[in-house]
Amino acid sequence: GSGKSTLIDNYTNWEGNALQFYPSYTDNPLLQIYIGSKVLVQEIASSLLGDTSKYARRALLKLWKRLFRRKDPNVVIVLNGMELQNSEPEYLEYLKQKAHIIRGKINLLGQIRKKPVKVRIALTYMDQMEGFSEFSEFLKQNSIPMTLEFKTGDAADIHSCLDSYEKHLSLALKSLTADKYLKAITFLRKTPNLFQ
């Protein structure tokens, strides 16, 4: 329910490729592989993600050793951005447990390539967060990419993650209506606390 399938659909055009005799493998819910024009995507179902058995490890190693013999993988972790607002201790513990499970799979990829693996986090459903639509609309109109980099992951790094966008506020003030500008500012101010 985090939006993985929608993200894959939007970036691969796998259905169009299937019509051109490049079929994806989507019959098995545990192993879904989508073929795009320039990318091959493996969607890992939550049941497989949570499987820490030696059988699952062996099967993933067998698959990934062939896939990533010469190419480096890019891991994309899809999170529902709205759920990050939940600060209940049980939910935070659940997130921590999921993070350890995902880290185990990433470490497996790192063992295959014998080097660190690039990891990206895609936040979905952010359009439901106050000010995000206005902020992203402004960035898109001005060809400003929305990419955040966390170098250390400590509190100061996370809190300053959107600081680089503040230099664009004067342009936003000129190009957005007052209402949209205030919503974009709200998003800029609240989001670092969300990432904490």
Q: What tens digit of pLDDT does each residue of 133-175 get?
A: 999 999 999 999 888 877 776 777 777 778 888 888 888 888 8
Dihedral angle at the C-alpha atoms of 45, 46, 50, 56, nearest 10 degrees? Answer: -10
β-sheet with 31-35: strand ranges across:
25-28, 31-35, 40-44
- Residues 129 and 34: their CA atoms lie apart, in Å, by 30
Give the global pTM: 0.77
> Which sign does the torsion angle of CA 146, 5, 194, 98 carry?
negative
pLDDT of 9 strictly over 80: no
pLDDT of 179 strictly over 90: yes
**pLDDT tens across 56-110, in order?**
999 999 989 988 888 889 898 888 888 888 888 898 898 889 889 999 999 999 9
What is the model's pLDDT at position 79? 86
Share of the chain above pLDDT 90, in %: 18
pLDDT-derived band of residue 15, with 50, 70 and 90 as boundaries?
A: low
